Amino acid sequence: MQSDVLQLDSASLFRDDQLIFNDISFELKSGDHLIIKGNNGSGKTSLIRTLCGLTQLTEGSVLWNHAPIDAISSDYYNHLAYLAHTNGLIPELTLLENLTYSLHKTDLDKDHSVLEGFQLKQSIQSPVATLSNGQSRKAALSFIIMSGKSLWVFDEPYANLDSQSIDYLNQRIAAHLSNNGMVITSTNREEVIPTTNLEITMS
Amino acid sequence: MNIYQQLFLRDLKVSMKRWSDLLTGIIMFILVAFIFPLIAGSDQDFMHRIIGPVILLSSLLASLISMQNIFKPDLNNGSLEQLVLSTHSLSGLVFIKILSYWISSSLPLVVVSSLIASAYYVTGIDIAKVMLTVLLATTTLVNINSLAAALTLGVRYPGALMTLILFPLSLPILMFGSKAIEYSILGMDISGPFYFLTGMMLLSFSLGPIATAFAIRISID
Amino acid sequence: MNLKQIYKYGSPPNYFKLSLKAENWFLIPGILLIIVGCLGGLFIAPPDYQMGHAFRIIYFHVPSAYLSMSAYAYMAGAALVGIVWRSNVAFSVAKSIAPFGASLTFLALVTGMLWGKPMWGTAWVWDARLTSQFILLLLYLGYILLHLSIREQRKADLAASILALTGVINLPIIHYSVVWWNTLHQASTISKLSSPSITGDMLWPLLVMIFGYGFFFWGVICRVVASEILKREKRSKWAKQYIKELQ
């Protein structure tokens, strides 16, 4: 089984003169789950965005299989699925339409189970704008899960989720990890997420 | 169905749902063209002289007022970021976005310009020439608009910037476009202005998406 | 100058020191040339047959106009270097040129209008060159405003550079569109603003002024670029050292 590795190498981020984070390093291998903890405004989202290549680091680099992600972005994005604060769903389209036109490769027949697990099956024909915050969040999560990508990056996925959905999400994460996937999660709460084996605390 | 076709259909579908945004530009186009004869005089010779500039100016103002609709909604709902994170070339995806935006925002203008042309006492084949001018001119305008929109994505009150960026860059299109319409009505040879408009269309559709994609990456940073 | 030297001067501390050293090498010749040019243009050159003494405004108008256009080209060039090599130095140069280029354009417009008033009775004419100058002013202002509107300096640099490059590609297109437009509209004033056959006595002060403006401009830019570089690099060791030495 091939093992991928994501490395962050002495990364620092300055925005103009403001220090966001300084000298962070980690190594994430297949089967690892990294959790990034910190209060609001501690730089979690900025760190995650640099891992996705959306924000440029001031110092240091992000390496995927020992190559900087700037050089191999197409290959890296083949493995990356990212959930931001916004859901990435188009509110005017229905959930089904979002799936159909989704830019992740999805196999609708195989993965209906995810939508059932999040109790979204019945809302599949509703425009996303009519769903509640929690439901939209769950829909966005299910897109990531159904995408078939190996590295999942979640920015505060547990916000707006009821406890049943939180359990289901943890189940799916565990299944993904045992399937040689990698997960990065950020959270501002103190809860313990069972599957994590790496931790970074932002200050 | 490959990803470009998917994105194209998705964006078309979404702009149909956001029809009230599209209406802004079309209404601006109609009203500006309508107001001119009302306030400036409506004898036939005069209207034949001003129809070129009026139609081009109306197109410009219509595009200006709806400029933020190109990328802002997608930035707000997060789908723009997902586009940047796609394995496919962002320039290609942006090209598709601009193309579908042109179809949904400018093709109606082409149709409406035929009505305006006849209201301005233009007859026969000349109306088709007016429509063709609007078709060609708006292709370049939409690319300039996309670039300006992408550059000002992160700016809170981009009004002055949008205008300042848009006007100088679109000046040649306005000049040659109104000349094309004027020549059409006078029955003169229109090939010169039309070659220019076509050339600008090709230039802007080849460089525009690349520059716009770059600007999107910067604004999202 | 080989490649290694170019890379060496591309680094902020070296360019900073080079700029400060070069400043006087530009400023002093510039001021001298301008003084000589003014003397030549305002006093020595004979009054024009048609226009009398009023033509002397060209000694201020033409250098401003030429320099405003070449400054935009320099700005776009620096912007390109900045984007390709991600060079803070290049971005500093581009950002510094902009307000001065805009001022030169404004000066060209004002002197153009001052020339127009006694000549044709109207301050503004819609001829190719004045209109192009106005468009150039808009392009400069757009660049400056974009820089001001984006809070994070690195993003502002990149975004404004794209605008500068788009502008420089469009500048010839815009200019020749306006020229073409004016030839169609037979404005009788076109030929007046184009340089007529000009005698040697009138020509040399003009050339001197053009060079004088150029040198002076670059002298001023040297210092502005230096301060911009210092501002951007103020967290680095060499900058802190330099500031400490100043005090």
What DSSP assignment string belongs to B102-149? HHHHHHHHHHHHHHHHHHTT--THHHHHHHHHHHHHHHHHHHHHHHHH
Q: Is A16 on the interface with C (CB under 8 A)?
A: yes
Q: Band of the pLDDT at C168, cuts 50, 70, 90?
A: very high
Kindly list the residues from chain C whose CB atom is less than 8 angstroms away from the CB atom of residue B176: 177
Question: How many whole angstroms separate alpha carbon A202 and alpha carbon A24?
Answer: 9
The model's pLDDT over C81-131, given as tens digits with 9 standing for 90+, comes to 999 998 899 999 999 999 999 999 999 999 988 887 877 777 787 777 788
Split into its structural domains, chain B has a count of 1
Q: Can you give the pLDDT at residue A151?
A: 94
pLDDT for residue A163 is more than 60:
yes
Q: Can you give the pLDDT at residue C192?
A: 47
CB contact under 8 A, C151 and A16: yes
pLDDT for residue B67 is more than 50:
yes
Average pLDDT over residues B60-67: 95
What DSSP assignment string belongs to B68-95? GGTTHHHHHHTHHHHHHTSSS-HHHHHH
Q: State whether residue B11 is helix, strand or coil.
A: helix
Q: Can you give the pLDDT at residue A97?
A: 87
Q: Band of the pLDDT at C189, cuts 50, 70, 90?
A: very low
User: What are the structure tokens assigned to C25, written together?
Assistant: 């090498």
Residue extents of the structural domains in chain C: 25-246
Would you say B202 and B133 are in contact if contact means Cβ atoms under 8 Å apart?
no
Range with the largest mean pLDDT of A88-92, A106-110, B208-212: B208-212
Query: Which neighbouring-strand residues pair with A78?
Result: none
Q: How many CB atoms lie within 10 A of CB C53?
A: 12
Average pLDDT over residues B25-53: 93
Q: Which position has the token pair 């979690």?
A: A44
Minimum CA–CA partner of A51 in chain B: B85
Q: Which position has the token pair 């010169």?
A: B192
- Chain C residues with CB under 8 Å of a chain B CB are 135, 138-139, 141-142, 145-146, 149-150, 152, 154-155, 158-159, 162-163, 165-167, 169-170, 173-174, 177-178, 180-181, 184
Which among C62, C44, C163, C49 is positioned nearest to C108, based on CA atoms? C62
Q: Is A54 on the interface with B (CB under 8 A)?
A: yes
Q: Can you give the pLDDT at residue A105?
A: 57
Q: H or E stretch including B214?
A: helix B191-220
CB contact under 8 A, B211 and C166: yes
Question: Which residues have a Cβ under 8 Å from the Cβ of A145 and sit 6 or more positions away?
Answer: A111, A114, A152, A172, A176
Average pLDDT over residues B97-119: 95
Kindly list the residues from chain B whose CB atom is less than 8 angstroms away from the CB atom of residue C174: 168, 171-172
CA distance C151 to chain A (A): 9
The model's pLDDT over A4-43, given as tens digits with 9 standing for 90+, comes to 899 999 999 998 888 999 899 999 999 999 999 888 888 8
pLDDT for residue B28 is more than 60:
yes
CB contact under 8 A, A88 and B79: yes
End-to-end CA distance of chain A: 37
Kindly list the residues from chain A whose CB atom is less than 8 angstroms away from the CB atom of residue C235: 14, 17
Please report the residues numbered 11 through 30 in chain B whose beta carbons come closer than 8 angstroms to any beta carbon of chain A. 13-14, 17-18
Question: How many whole angstroms separate alpha carbon A117 and alpha carbon C48?
Answer: 90
ipTM of model: 0.91
Q: H or E stretch including A21?
A: strand A18-29
Q: CATH: 3.20.20.210, 3.40.50.720, 3.40.50.300, 2.70.98.60. Which one for A5-195?
A: 3.40.50.300
The single-letter code of the amino acid at C161 is S
CB contact under 8 A, C166 and B214: no
CB contact under 8 A, A103 and B6: yes
**Which CATH fold would you assign to the domain C25-246?**
Four Helix Bundle (Hemerythrin (Met), subunit A) (1.20.120)
Kindly list the residues from chain B whose CB atom is less than 8 angstroms away from the CB atom of residue C137: none
- Chain B residues with CB under 8 Å of a chain C CB are 147, 151-152, 154-155, 158, 160-161, 164-165, 167-169, 171-172, 175-176, 179, 200, 207, 211, 214-215, 218-219, 221
What's the Rg (C-alpha) of chain C?
20
The model's pLDDT over C11-43, given as tens digits with 9 standing for 90+, comes to 888 889 889 888 988 999 999 999 888 888 888
pLDDT for residue C194 is more than 60:
no
CB-count exposure of residue B88 (10 Å: 0-12, 13-18, 19+): middle
CB contact under 8 A, C163 and B151: yes
Which spans in A9-132 are helix H? Answer: 44-51, 73-79, 95-100, 112-117
Question: How many whole angstroms separate alpha carbon C198 and alpha carbon A166?
Answer: 84
Q: Can you give the pLDDT at residue B180?
A: 94
Minimum CA–CA partner of B217 in chain A: A54
Measured CA to CA in angstroms, residue A72 lies from A171, A180, A184, B81 at distances of 31, 21, 20, 18
Which residue out of C105, C133, C138 would a mutagenesis test of the B interface target, given it has the greatest number of B Cβ atoms within 10 Å?
C138
Higher pLDDT, C181 or B208: B208
pLDDT averaged over every residue in chain A: 87
Task: Choose the closest CB to B171 out of C135, C149, C163.
Answer: C135
Q: Can you give the pLDDT at residue A102?
A: 77
What's the distance, CA B205 to chain centroid? 12
Which residue out of B85, B88, B100, B104 would a mutagenesis test of the A interface target, given it has the greatest number of A Cβ atoms within 10 Å?
B85
Kindly list the residues from chain C whose CB atom is less than 8 angstroms away from the CB atom of residue A22: none
Question: How many whole angstroms separate alpha carbon A137 and alpha carbon A145?
Answer: 12
Q: Which domain holds residue B157?
A: 3-220
Would you say C229 and C84 are in contact if contact means Cβ atoms under 8 Å apart?
no
Would you say A121 and A79 are in contact if contact means Cβ atoms under 8 Å apart?
no
pLDDT for residue B54 is more than 90:
yes
What's the distance, CA B184 to chain centroid? 21
CA distance C169 to chain B (A): 10
Would you say A150 and A30 are in contact if contact means Cβ atoms under 8 Å apart?
yes
